């Protein structure tokens, strides 16, 4: 009973802090990012409807213009969108009346076609509808259109190129992250020649296509919207790291390892993994992994570069700052100058102590929002020089 009372009290405090940040003048977007990242995320869809627009710097009171064209007749993507939306039945809540679901599917088609018509530089990809439907179910058609349009021109921009080159480049960050934390697992996967294609649907749908519980999907969306565009690949990495023993117990061949990893468990410890992903981003930012992932020239064409424009336009605290401040706040002062996550090479079969440390950091992060996480508005980071 006491645990339940403590949980309720903590939840009420967080709701109060979120509303305080929303009611500040100007809105305290830095605090909202912190709330979206911390344990439980934004808690309810009602709060998400207020906070998600702030995280994306979208005016919720400024509806998107309605196209006067018959987009279903004119769009070259209509038939593919229609097929994908028809196959999206499981993305709607169980027990939803058929008439209501069909109405939402029609709205889903309209949102996608309008965004593509307004942004001819964007190219539809299969899986895009999995992201759009999440926003539709949380915030409704009008606001979903505005939010997904902003997301499509920033966080998702690389996936909407005419080719998959930049998408493949982002996937190429996966193995260097794993290598930094667990060289033995990395080498096993390299020997199996499994590649990274098993994580493609995770990345391009923000895990919406592969998770069956909508609560887990929106929790991840809270996290991703508050963070750097490459955070989903870090989350993909921590899933693989979490399943280390399962992978190492596999036959070391592509078919076996790919089959295992492509079947994502539905009972993952999401809050712990979110905390670990944030810690890994701080320790191994994309700028340090770019050389291993691909040539720097290619890296500069990814969403990280367009995200700079987004940050400047929004005039908000850099979202990755919350992760660094959180990480530093959780370390003892004498540990802040040390490398917390190391990459041993003397013995490839020694397990990294870092996983235990990351769990400890994650548990601390999930316990309370510490005073050490308070934001320094003038503090800026340069991750991509």
pLDDT, one tens digit per residue, over 341-355 is: 444 443 333 333 333
d(CA 42, CA 118): 30
Could you tell me how far CA 253 lies from the centroid of its own chain? 29
Q: Are residues 279 and 258 in the same domain?
A: yes
Q: Are residues 128 and 173 in the same domain?
A: no
pLDDT given at position 245: 97
Q: Are residues 131 and 203 in the same domain?
A: no
End-of-domain residue from the set 234, 268, 298: 298
Is 241 domain-assigned?
A: yes
Of residues 138 and 364, the one with the higher pLDDT is 138
Q: Are residues 198 and 271 in the same domain?
A: yes
Q: Are residues 151 and 120 in the same domain?
A: yes
pLDDT given at position 4: 73
Is 127 domain-assigned?
A: yes
pLDDT confidence tier of residue 70, bands split at 50, 70 and 90: confident
End-of-domain residue from the set 129, 159, 189: 159
Is residue 372's pLDDT more than 70? no
pLDDT given at position 6: 78
Q: What percent of the chain has pLDDT over 70?
A: 75
pLDDT confidence tier of residue 292, bands split at 50, 70 and 90: confident
Is 226 domain-assigned?
A: yes
Which of 288, 258, 111 has its CA nearest to residue 198? 258
Residue 104: give the domain boundaries. 71-159
Over residues 167-180, the mean pLDDT reads 95
Is residue 296's pLDDT more than 50? no
pLDDT given at position 340: 40
Over residues 149-168, the mean pLDDT reads 95
Of residues 62 and 4, the one with the higher pLDDT is 62
End-of-domain residue from the set 298, 325, 347: 298
pLDDT confidence tier of residue 321, bands split at 50, 70 and 90: low
d(CA 271, CA 365): 10
Is residue 380's pLDDT more than 50? no
- Count of structural domains within the chain: 3
Is residue 366's pLDDT more than 50? no
Q: Are residues 136 and 201 in the same domain?
A: no
Q: Are residues 50 and 76 in the same domain?
A: no
State the CATH number of the domain containing residue 137.
1.10.8.1310
Over residues 311-316, the mean pLDDT reads 47
* Least confident window among 65-69, 133-137, 170-174: 65-69
Over residues 179-184, the mean pLDDT reads 96
Positive or negative torsion for Cα 296, 299, 304, 308: positive
Is 325 domain-assigned?
A: no
Is 316 domain-assigned?
A: no
pLDDT confidence tier of residue 67, bands split at 50, 70 and 90: low
Which of 28, 55, 7, 29 has its CA nearest to residue 223? 55
Is 379 domain-assigned?
A: no
Is residue 238's pLDDT more than 70? yes
Q: Are residues 285 and 168 in the same domain?
A: yes
pLDDT given at position 18: 97
In contact, 91 and 130? CB cutoff 8 Å: yes
pLDDT given at position 306: 54
Is 359 domain-assigned?
A: no
pLDDT given at position 205: 97
For 9-47, write each residue's pLDDT tens digit: 899 999 999 999 999 999 999 999 999 999 999 999 999
State the CATH number of the domain containing residue 186.
1.10.472.80
pLDDT given at position 304: 53
Is residue 373's pLDDT more than 90? no
Q: Are residues 203 and 262 in the same domain?
A: yes
Q: Are residues 143 and 169 in the same domain?
A: no
Q: Are residues 264 and 177 in the same domain?
A: yes
Burial letters 42-74, b for 16+ CB under 10 A, else e: bbeeebbbbbbbbbbebeeeeebeeeeeebeee
Q: Are residues 269 and 182 in the same domain?
A: yes
Is 168 domain-assigned?
A: yes
pTM of the shown model: 0.79
d(CA 218, CA 139): 11
């Amino acid at each position: 009973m006491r645990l339940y009372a403590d949980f309720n009290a903590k939840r009420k405090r967080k709701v109060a802090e979120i509303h305080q940040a929303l009611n500040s003048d100007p809105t305290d977007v830095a605090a909202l990012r912190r709330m979206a990242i911390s344990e439980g995320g934004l808690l309810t869809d009602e709060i998400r409807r207020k906070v998600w627009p702030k995280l994306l710097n979208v005016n919720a009171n400024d509806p998107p213009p309605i196209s006067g064209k018959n987009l279903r007749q004119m769009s070259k993507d209509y038939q593919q969108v229609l097929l994908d939306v028809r196959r999206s039945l499981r993305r709607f809540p169980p027990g939803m009346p058929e008439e209501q679901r069909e109405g939402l599917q029609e709205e889903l088609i309209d949102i996608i076609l309008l965004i593509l018509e307004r942004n001819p530089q964007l190219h539809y990809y299969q899986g895009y509808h999995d992201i759009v439907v999440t926003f539709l179910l949380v915030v409704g058609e009008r606001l979903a259109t505005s939010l997904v349009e902003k997301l499509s021109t920033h966080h998702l921009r690389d996936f909407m190129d005419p080719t998959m080159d930049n998408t493949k480049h982002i996937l190429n960050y996966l193995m260097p992250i794993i290598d930094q934390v667990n060289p033995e697992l990395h080498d096993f996967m390299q020997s199996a020649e499994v590649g990274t294609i098993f994580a493609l649907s995770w990345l391009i749908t923000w895990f919406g296509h592969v998770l069956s519980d909508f609560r887990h999907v929106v929790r991840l969306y809270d996290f991703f919207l508050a963070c750097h565009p490459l955070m989903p690949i870090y989350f993909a990495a921590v899933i693989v790291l979490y399943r280390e023993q399962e992978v190492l117990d596999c036959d070391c061949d592509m078919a076996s390892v790919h089959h295992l990893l492509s079947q994502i468990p539905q009972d993952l410890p999401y809050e712990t993994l979110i905390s670990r992903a944030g810690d890994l981003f701080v320790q191994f930012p994309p700028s340090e992994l770019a050389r291993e992932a691909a040539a720097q020239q290619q890296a500069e064409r990814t969403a990280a570069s367009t995200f700079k424009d987004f940050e400047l336009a929004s005039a908000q605290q850099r979202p990755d700052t919350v992760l660094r401040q959180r990480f530093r706040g959780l370390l003892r002062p004498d540990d802040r100058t040390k490398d917390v996550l190391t990459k041993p090479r003397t013995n490839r079969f020694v397990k990294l102590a870092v996983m235990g440390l990351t769990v400890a950091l994650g548990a601390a992060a999930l316990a309370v929002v510490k005073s050490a996480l308070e934001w320094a508005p003038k503090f800026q980071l340069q991750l991509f020089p």
